[in-house]
Amino acid sequence: MFSAVLGLFSQDLAVDLGSSETRLYQRGSGVVVSEPTVVAVQTDRRGRRRVLAVGSDARPMLGRTPTDILAVEPVRDGRISDFEVAEALLMHLVRRVHGRNGWVHPRMAIAIAHDATDMERRAIRESCEAAGARHVHLVPRPVAAALGAGLPVRRASGHMVVDIGAGASEIGVVSLLGVVHGTIVPGGGNGMDRALSAWLNETHQLLVGAQSASGLKHALGSALPPRRPDTAIVRGRCLRRGLPRAIEVDGHDVHQALVPAIDAIAAGIRAVMEACPPELAGDIADHGVVLTGGGARLPEIATALRDRTGLPVVAVDNAERAIIEGTGLALEELALLEAVAC
């Protein structure tokens, strides 16, 4: 009987539908799925759509599909832009966790933008229900990130979390398990990649794909000017001659191209600080700012944001998993889940 009850509980899932990666957390087990947020959809002659591949099977198809197949990224700039495809992805991943048996009394907690509109909330709820959930709990991402970062947000004391994702950077001040103030700065890591593409385009007349730009960011990107000279080779197509070309780029130039993206995050932090009542601003000045999301792994980002805001800033170790782990923590404790759900 006891194990049967545990079995039922273990069917509960937490979800973080990110612009680049979708993560699922199973109650009692932890993170069980981390897959690219990409779905390949095929349309037949009668116009019927069917899912051909999802996640890591679908990602290589981006930009490489024939006319009857479309590789779709259903989350853009941190928000669901194609609910039908997002729902198909969710259904597929839930089925992967639970097998064909389905689930019994399933509970699903899903992280959402703190400023999600009623329409977005309704659509997300419906997508979770379509994936089989009977009880759906919407958790604001800053609260999830704060819980995942291990911050004491149950107390009446302000903590600022900045989640630098792929599609956007979500800034939130969390106190008593709720978001007191927040803003979303567009861009995120994808914005940094686009800035590098634009710079290669304008300065070197080199056209590169999103993956090459991201590769350059990973190889040389830094939020502070590099201390040692370092270079990397980037391959693309010469805009003048139309032929493949490889060039050597310098870490200093890569840093310069990333500066506007870092300035925008710092401006967002300052704007949220200015909107905070003095008590909360004082708490944040004491506790500092915590960075989560994959973008928190950009070398020296914490120092660069500290220099621009005058606040102590630290990046957490579980950066890209903070939101799913925080949503998962809430899922493990029903009273907590009910307190954080919005």
Ligand X SMILES: Nc1ncnc2c1ncn2[C@@H]1O[C@H](COP(=O)(O)OP(=O)(O)OP(=O)(O)O)[C@@H](O)[C@H]1O
In the beta sheet, which residues pair with residue 181? 173
- What are the tokens at 325? 């782990």
Give yes or no for residue 188 binding ligand X (CB under 6 A). Answer: yes
Q: Which is nearer to ligand X, 180 or 254 (CB)?
A: 254
Q: Which is nearer to ligand X, 19 or 175 (CB)?
A: 19
- Interface residue with ligand X, options 148, 165, 182, 187 (CB under 6 A): 165
Contacts of 113-120 with CB under 8 Å at 24 or more apart are 113/78, 113/79, 113/140, 113/141, 113/170, 113/184, 114/140, 114/141, 114/142, 114/143, 114/170, 114/172, 114/179, 114/182, 114/342, 115/182, 115/184, 116/79, 120/79, 120/80
Shortest Cβ 205–ligand X spacing (Å): 24
Contact window for ligand X (CB under 6 A) among 125-133, 151-159, 212-220, 254-262: 212-220
- Interface residue with ligand X, options 182, 187, 221, 236 (CB under 6 A): 221
Give yes or no for residue 295 binding ligand X (CB under 6 A). Answer: yes
3-state helix, strand, coil in the chain (%, to 5): 45, 30, 30
Contact window for ligand X (CB under 6 A) among 6-14, 18-26, 81-89, 238-246: 18-26
* 191 within 8 A of 219, measured Cβ to Cβ: no
- Interface residue with ligand X, options 11, 12, 13, 19 (CB under 6 A): 19
Nearest to 273 by CA among 149, 147, 159: 159
Residues 33-62 that bind ligand X (CB under 6 A): none
- Interface residue with Mg ion, options 15, 18, 162, 330 (CB under 5 A): 18
Q: Which is nearer to ligand X, 320 or 325 (CB)?
A: 320
Q: Which is nearer to ligand X, 166 or 174 (CB)?
A: 166
Gap between the Cα atoms of 25 and 39, Å rounded: 20
Using CB under 6 A, list all residues that contact ligand X.
Answer: 18-21, 75, 78, 165-168, 188-190, 214, 217-218, 221, 293-295, 297-298, 320
